[in-house]
Amino acid sequence: MLIFGVESSCDETSCAVLSVEEENGGRVFSLRSNIVASQVETHRLFGGVVPEIASRAHAEVISKVARDALSEAGIGPHDIDAVAVTSYPGLIGCLLVGTSFAKGLSSSLGVPLVPVNHIEAHAAAAYLCEYDLSAPFGALVVSGSHTSLYDVPRETSFIPVGGSRDDAAGEAFDKVGRIIGLPYPAGRAMDELAVRAAEQGADEDVPLPSPAIPGDNLDFSFSGLKTAALNYVNTKRQSMKLKEGDPLPEKTVLAVAASFTNAVCSGISKKLSLFLKSRNYDKLVLAGGVAANSHLRRSADAVCRKYGVRLIAPPVSLCGDNAAMVAAAGYYALKEGLIADSAMNAYASEEAAEKAMKECGFKPLH
């Protein structure tokens, strides 16, 4: 079976072809193509994603991205057996480009249309690197818009058990990066600076609060951490009499990147420990754009080892937004008959999507 995936929830337009063979009650995924057209250079000029520009850019490239995905997979459109598309959550204008394209494609080919939750799709990237991964497992999705823990009793059932009460970790990485002079998106550069700081030994102490909310909950707050980093940098600038636009000293840049990364990783590790301690999972999936962070991968691995849990994190190339993960999530939804018709809509938030789906009786919540 060949599943065509479509992703356009934020600033990456992506289409993929995933081949699925079912054998002995299991499945074998083989990724035939995964084309990603990034708009990052465009949004960098504005210091973040501009929704209207993003939607237009998706509309401009989606047909070409789809054609490239087919041609790299060596297939024609009529070989496709199903179309899976991110329909929520995300920027509404962006989602509408992908869902409209997917609707048109599925109805012209007469194949099923499968709506996919973007956050669940991030976790589904793990199936592409782990041959025998199946539910139940725990999942930690850390992205530009989410920092969430889930119980996953079935591949199509993600039960949120904790997460950020305000900003997401990725958003905080980008904001703090911006404060110290890095271009958008700053996550990867922050990662590299924290590596350099560890090698060189940062000698500047940056006191930052933990993003782990005190208590037995599994929740985070990243806004206080972000503000503390901003205050530290502003005070530093004043004490050094730096003018607007003057760069910070390199040792301050390294120290802020390292201390911030450390605060994020130890806060997440704290709640991950609590999560794993209270469950009996033997597998934890770590996914989302921020799962590419080398420090987070190492600290999550250390926590998992402590509880005898196998950490499954997709390769860095599949952590960011891509359509391969959407096709993988779509396979499991298709198996359960979670198919949409031409009335399928796009939703900016999970709450809006769940409300609408409940009303039309489409998808059982959990």
| Smallest separation, CB 9 to Zn ion (Å) | 7
Q: Residue 322: which of Zn ion, ligand KG4, none does it interact with, CB under 5 to 8 A by kind?
A: none
- The residue with tokens 């237009």 is 56
Min. distance of Cβ 302 from ligand KG4 in angstroms? 17
Residues 260-299, interacting with ligand KG4 (CB under 6 A) = 288-290, 292-293
Please tell me the total number of residues recorded for the chain in this structure. Answer: 366
Give the integer Cα–Cα distance in Å for 356 and 344.
10
Give the per-residue contact string, 95-134, with ligand KG4 (x = CB under 6 A; - = no): ---------------------------x------------
Residue 163 makes contact with ligand KG4 by CB under 6 A: no
- Amino acid at position 305, single letter: R
Is 170 among the residues that bind ligand KG4 (CB under 6 A)? yes
Q: What is the DSSP letter of 126?
A: G
CA distance 357 to 304: 35
Buried b (16+ CB within 10 A) or exposed e, 259-268: bbbbbbbebb
User: Which two three-digit tokens encode residue 288?
Assistant: 């989302």
330 binds, among Zn ion, ligand KG4, none (CB under 5 to 8 A by kind): none
Q: How far is CA 30 from CA 73, 74, 114, in A?
A: 11, 13, 19
> Residues 301-340 vs ligand KG4: string with x where CB under 6 A?
-------------------xx-------------------
Q: How far is the CB of 191 from ligand KG4 (least distance, A)?
A: 4
The contact pattern for ligand KG4, residues 187-226, with x = CB under 6 A and - = no contact, is xx-xx-----------------------------------
Choose between 190 and 268: whose C-beta lies nearer to ligand KG4: 190
CB of 50 vs ligand KG4, minimal distance in Å: 15
C-beta of 14 vs 259, nearer to Zn ion: 14
For ligand KG4, the closer CB: 171 or 219 = 171
**Strand extents, DSSP E, the chain:** 2-7, 12-23, 26-38, 82-88, 113-117, 137-142, 147-154, 157-163, 283-287, 310-312
What dihedral angle (degrees, nearest 10) is formed by the CA atoms of 27, 31, 32, 36?
150
User: Where does this chain bind Zn ion (CB under 5 A)?
Assistant: 143, 321
**Dist. CA 119–CA 135, nearest whole Å:** 16
Q: Which residues bind ligand KG4 (CB under 6 A)?
A: 10, 122, 143-145, 170, 173-174, 185-188, 190-191, 288-290, 292-293, 320-321
